[in-house]
Structures are given as structure tokens and as C-alpha cells.
Structure 1
Amino acid sequence: MDPFKISEFAGISLRLAVLLPVMAILPGGAAAEETGPPPVRPVESSVSVTVDDITDGLSNPWGLAFLPDGRFLLTERVGRLRVVGAKGEKSAPLPGLPPMAVGGQGGLLDVATDAQFERNRRIFFCFSEPDGRAGDLNGTALASAVLPPGEKALQDVRIIFRQQPNVASRLHFGCRIAQAGDGSVFLTLGERFERKDDAQKLDNHLGKVVHMLPDGTPAPGNPFAGRPGGLPEIWSWGHRNSQGAVIGPDGRLWMHEHGPQGGDEINVPQAGRNYGWPVVTFGENYGGGKIGEGLTQKAGMEPPLHYWVPSIAPSGMAFLTSDRYGPAWKGSLFIGSLKFARLHRLEFKDGRVVRDEFLLAGLGQRIRDVRQGPDGWLYVLTDSPQGRLLRLRPSGS
């Protein structure tokens, strides 16, 4: 079994003697103090929700987007893109996708509709692309396409970004897409597991967040543009493998990332900042043992906003801004857990997590993605060969 899958699927717990101290966010990117209260422990929610099945029979669905007429656009990791109707009717897979390296954690991953979709019909999708020159090499790629009315096939498919270098690995593609209010696009990029040290180098894309215009050119104002040795599309660095990203109500990019064995993180990546992997982490090697020097903090490296020990294997990320679920939930951050097969709801106060509760544990389904729809409801994708698209409603609504 791949080492990452030992953590993600089997749920081996960390062999730590004590729970590591929380790292609080400090002004100006200062290092966190060594002591402090432990991170908030997840507890089961006392709130019940009604789960509506929209559709099922999906092959490891990964990414979800919404069409203006109430239908859904979703990916299946095996390399299929479908439109799903409001009553659950599935389209045939849409033709026009480029070749993909399907296997391990790779395939067709995230999808997003452009903020101006009603005008330009543009979508973005992220996938693992075969190198074409050598059998095992592949890399994360981002494409744009036009989804014309009638949705019979993709048109004007353009690969607008390719992660470099390509790597012979089936792991850690990252691949979450988040479009900012100005139309620019953020993309999370994993360090491909085999190349974790490259996350600390600015001459490659591994373990980075990149920031670009919709045509794939680097966004103006990126921190390393014109800097010798740095790539102009890089926004932040020192990341491991992020499968969740969203533009928050504050207009900033929020993301989470998988730790190794323990040490999953939430970060709010700022331009030019280094988030530490693999130099600092709250996790350890698979099977035990420190990573590097075993540091949890270091000058010049940003502490996480929140972390989990043991890992929850986070995937998908959404802020709830609607009133559908009442005032207690409004403003909460929702994150899926692959490892524990549940949905986490996080509350914040003064810039830190003060409550972490989980729902849907009774489903027994790995949560791959969570999104707030235009109608204000939360929608969830479950990750299995018979995956489901679900809508959550307050019980009794």
C-alpha cells in the first residue's frame, strides 16, 4: 500500500506521548510560542440533519460546481465529467477532455465554473496529466474550456498551467481551484510525496500555491515575479498536499493540507510566505519517527491557523454564508474527513478555532468535497466507487 494511503485510508494513529501545543496566529508572521492550550478536540455534533440523495453510482467523485439553472457539474476521478440535474439525472460523460494519468490519487480532480460563466460559459478543471515522453512521469495540470448550452461536449479546451517538474508518482497532486473576486485563479499543488524537499525551493511548482489570470499567465503582483530563482506564478510555498481551498467571506484564500502521520493543517496563505513543509510539521513519519529535525516551529516559517493530531485526512472546504441553517452555523467552515468518514464544522473567534464538531459519522462515507450551493444549502460528495451527491438540510425543514 502507498505510504500516504496508510494514513488516509487505514487511519493509523500517531504514536505521540502527548498532544502537541497549538500554534496561534501572531501578528507579522512571528513564530508561535512553544506553550499554549492544546488544539480544540473534535466532538460529535448534537444537531441532526436530513440527508437528501441527489444522485449516486458515481465513480469516486472528486469536484463539484454549480450551473446557473440549478444543475451540477461534477468530476469522477476515473476521467469523467458529468452534468447532474436537480432531480439527480446524470448526463453521459462529456467528450473533449485531454488525456489523463488515472491511477493512485490521480485522474480528473477538481472543477470550477468561472465567476462570469453566464456570459462566457467558461469552466476550469484540474487533472493529472501524463508526460507523454516517459511512461511513469506525470504532473498536475489546469485547463479551461467552454461548456456550450446543451452541454454535449467541451469546446475550446486549453491547458493553461502545467506543474513543473513532472514526477514519477501517483500521489499528492493537490489540485483544488479557487477563483478570487477579481477573477484571478488560485491552484493548490502537492509536492508529489517523492519530492518533499522541493517544497522549500522556489525554482519549481512542487508544494506550492500558484496564482494566475484565467488565461494561465501569472497574476500581477505575485511575490516572486522578477525575482531571480523564483517562478512568477508562485503565491506561497512550503505546502504538502492540499485538497481543500476556498475564498473566504473575508476575500482571502483559505486552504487545508494533509499532514503526514498527524499534522493536517488549516492555513490562510499570504503572498510570499513559507508554510514550512517539510522543515516544520506537527506530524511524524509513517510508522513513527520525526521528520527532519522534528521541529514544529522555525523563524521565517508560518504556523498553521489550526492543526489536527491525529490526522482527519481533510478534503473539500466551504464557508457557510447563508441563513439556511440558522445563526449558530452561519460563518462556520465545513471540511470533509476521508479518514474518519464525517463532515467537520469549525467555529472561529478572534482568529482561532474555538469549536470543532462533526456530523454524518453514521453515513460511513468518506467525504471528498463540500460546497455551499447558490441556493444556500450545503452539498457533499462521498468518495467511493459508488459515490453519492448529497444535500444537507436541518432536520424538520
Structure 2
Amino acid sequence: MMRRTRRTTTSLTALAATGFLAGAACAQSLNEAAPHGAAYDQTPAFEGQTRAPALEGDVALQQTVLAEGLEHPWGLTELPDGSWLVTERPGRMRMVAPDGTLSEPIAGLPEVDARDQGGLHDVSVADDFADTRRVWWTFAEPRGNGENATAVATGILSEDNSTLEDVSVIWQQQPAWASTKHFGARIVHDGEGHIFVGLGERSDPEPRVYAQDPQATLGKIVRINAEDGTPAGAGIEGALPEIWSMGHRNIQGAAMGPDGQLWMNEHGPKGGDELNAIEAGLNYGWPEVTYGVDYSDAEMGVTEMDGTEQPVYYWDPSPAISGMAFYDGEMFPDWQGDALIGALRGSSVIRLTMEDGRVTGEARLLEGIGRVREVEVAQDGALVLITDEENGQLIRVTPEG
């Protein structure tokens, strides 16, 4: 497959002028309304919680399309040989070889409910993949009568990469619901034999209240044993044993920070996208606490409440943040330790500099590239991403030259 390469230069000064970046570079105070003029009048809980200063300077980036023709790709993970496993929402998983060759769909996956936001979602492997060839993935599992919920499955990838064998569903979200939205579904390995799974609250007013119910796994982060899905949660009194944290809306990105801190991001309703530092047993507030508003612009809840955690950072208007990674590589030395977050509506990659657990600067890279669903750092330090489009692409990003 022939690769297509193009070069882009991101001017942060220009971005600030258009309102896509806010902060010191646009002389916008923390308490001013959002640039699009919606009635957001919330006050941040602390300085730097939103509209961090725009990072200065130009970043010249080169894009190489490794594969295209992917139908709404959602999950992405690199294998030790430099190949990539990619999921497509309609229910397919494919292998992209280092030379860009796109495989036929891998056989052996269970049925998915692919309506609307459902389908096949995240895919992940552990550090011992070369020995075990074990793969994990999340998907919208049909439960009958139009109901569905997120599930976690695992299997062994055959030596010829054609089939997932010994497949089993090891965990199921409860309760199931007749909704086609907010499955969440990001996976993070903790390096100790567990996986964290970030889960949505199914969107509708009736199920969203379960985000505050300790006997349901809607709007939660769970931790389970990677081998068999048995609970390994935070031990919250009165809660299901797999629950790690609660009060989440629709988790779309997740990663371990350089210091081992678990981070997850989630969509707000209209505005109020959040970046959260996740700690065991805590409540992150949704749907009682939010910096967003209803899609009708009506107020929803409050921005602070005793017993709930504040986001480390939030956005309004919403760029519809998605997959995330922390940079660790040699190709972009100035990015070391920075958070890189895909933006769907924002059609870009957001780079955040961080210090002592707080955001100190923000940049928008690759603007106009498409709906960036997932971001990963390749073994050689390149940035690799997928665009969630009808004709989605797997794109490698390197410094120009």
C-alpha cells in the first residue's frame, strides 16, 4: 500500500486569534464567557482549571498516512513487531503491518450492537504480548429486547494473525439499557495484572442517575483482574467490588501518566469536557456536578459540591476530547511528559504541558486533520493516530525533516 505524506505547520498565534486557543495569548480571563457566546457563566474552582495559556512557537509536523479505508476506527494498540491492531466500530478488528498493509478482518470476535455510538471499541495488549499473544477489547454487547451494555472480552491472537482464539467475555456492565449512546470503554493496564475500564452512563436522563449508584456500573471506572474479569476495585463500602471511582459521564480517553497516576477524560454535555486525575474511591460528580450545560443551554447541576472531585482541567466550548497518551520518546524532546489528547469536534490533537498535576499550557496541533479518535506514541517516538470517519485513516506524525 502506498503511503501518502503531507506536511503541516501549526501556528499557535493564528489559533489563538480564531478563538480555538484561549488563555494569556488571547487576553481572555478565566471567568469570561466561552468564545462561541453560549451562556456559560461558571467560575473555575482554581486558577488554570480552564483556558491555560497558549503554548508559544510553531510546530512543523509531517503526516504519513499508513492505512486508509477504515470504517469509523475506534481503538488502536501497537504490537512488539511494530504492527498495529485497529478496531472498526461496525465490529471488525484488523492488523496494519509496519509497511501499511491492511489485513482482512480478524475472525473470532463476538457479536456487537453497532447502532449509533455502539460497536467495537477499545483494544489493548499487555507488555507480555510477545509471549502470551493475549488481546483485550471492549464492545457494545447486545442483551436482547433492544438493550445493550459495555462488555470486556479477551482472546489469543493466532500466530498467523488471522483469528482470535479461546475468546471469552470476562466482564459485563450492569444494568443493560435500551440506549445507543455513551458506552465509554477505554482500557488501561496497571502493570500489576489488572485493567481499568472507563464506562459511560448511557446518556438518557433515566440511566444517567446510575452514575451515582454504587450498585450499578454505569458512569464508573472499574478495575478487574485481566485474566478472568474478577473484581479488584477500591473496596468502597456499599459498592460493587469492581468499582474504582464513580460520577463519570462518558469516558473517551485514558492513560497512565509518567509517575503512574491514572488519568481519564470524559465528554461533558455541552461544554464541560473534563480531564481527571483518578483516585480510588472518589466521586467525580456527574450528573450533579458539571461545567457544561444541557444541549438546550439550560443549566445542569452545579459546578462544585461537597464530596465530589473537581476536574484538573475542563473545556468550554467542547472540543469533544477522546483518546489520550503521555509522550515518552525521543522524536519530540520538548513534549516529554506532555498529555496528548485527540479532539473529535475540534479536529486536532491537543497538547497539554503539566506541572505538579496541573495544566500549565495548551496547544492545538494538526488542526483540520479530522475526528481524532485515538492517539498513541509509537515505539520509535512518532505520534500515531486514527481518524473516526467513514473513510478513516491511520496516520503517523513526525517532525518535519
Aligned partner of 1:367: which letter? V
- What secondary structure is seen at the aligned counterpart in 2 of 1:131? strand
Cross-structure match for 1:275: 284
Equivalent residue for 1:68, pick from 74, 80, 88: 80
C-alpha change, 1:69 and 1:274, in structure 2 (3 Å) is same
Instruction: Note the C-alpha offset of 1:258.
Output: 0.2
- Higher strand proportion: 2
8 Å contact kept, 2:270–2:293: yes
Match among 178, 183, 195 for residue 193 of structure 2: 183
> Cα distance 1:384–1:44, how it changes in 2: closer, same or farther (>3 A)?
farther
Partners of 2:250 and 2:37 in 1: CA distance: 19
User: Over aligned residue pairs, what C-alpha RMSD do you find?
Assistant: 1.7
How many angstroms does 1:375 deviate by? 2.1
TM-superposed CA distance for 1:199, in Å, is 0.5
Check the 8 A contact 2:48/2:359 in 1, yes or no. Answer: no
Q: Structure 2: any 5+ residue segments left out of the alignment?
A: 1-34
Q: Deviations over 1:327-372 (max 9, x none)?
A: x211110001101111100001232111110111143x11000011
Distance in 1 of aligned mates of 2:48 and 2:354: 17
Q: Partner of 2:123 in structure 1?
A: 111
Q: Within the alignment, does 1:298 sit opposite 2:308 as a pair?
A: no
Number of residues paired by the alignment? 364
1:193 has 2:203 as partner: yes
Letter in 1 for 2:310: P
Deviates more, 1:261-270 or 1:38-47: 38-47
Shift of 1:145: 0.5
For residue 342 of structure 1, what is the aligned residue in structure 2?
Answer: 348
Look up the match of 2:5.
none
CA separation of 1:45/1:158 partners in 2, compared to 1, >3 Å: closer, same or farther? farther
1:204-243, aligned counterparts within 5 Å? 204-214=216-226, 215-219=228-232, 222-224=234-236, 227-228=237-238, 230-243=239-252
What stretches of structure 1 of length at least 5 have no aligned partner?
1-11, 25-34
Percent identity for Structure 1 against Structure 2: 44
* Alignment-mate amino acid for residue 22 of structure 1: P
1:223 deviates by 2.3
Deviations 1:49-107 (A, max 9, x none): 00011111100100101111111111000110001111111111011010110011000
Secondary structure of the residue that 1:99 maps to in structure 2? coil
8 Å CA contact 1:21–1:36 kept in 2: the answer is no
Q: 1:200 to 1:153 in 2, by over 3 A?
A: same
TM-score by length of 2: 0.88
Equivalent in the alignment of 1:145: 155
The verdict on how the C-alpha distance between 1:45 and 1:138 changes in structure 2, with shifts beyond 3 A counting, is farther
Contact 1:14–1:261, Cα closer than 8 Å, also in 2: no
Seen in structure 2, the aligned counterparts of structure 1 residues 94 and 356 have a Cα distance that, compared at 3 Å, is same
The alpha-carbon deviation at position 196 of structure 1 amounts to 1.2
> What is the match of residue 47 of structure 1?
59
| TM-score of the pair, normalised by structure 1 | 0.88
Of structures 1 and 2, the one scoring higher in RCO (CA 8 A, sep 6+) is 1
The 2-side partners of 1:259 and 1:37 are apart by 15
1:318 corresponds to 2:340: no
Q: Which runs of 4+ in 1 moved over 3 A?
A: 35-39, 41-45
- Partner residue, 2:183: 173
Deviation at 1:21, TM superposition (A): 3.0
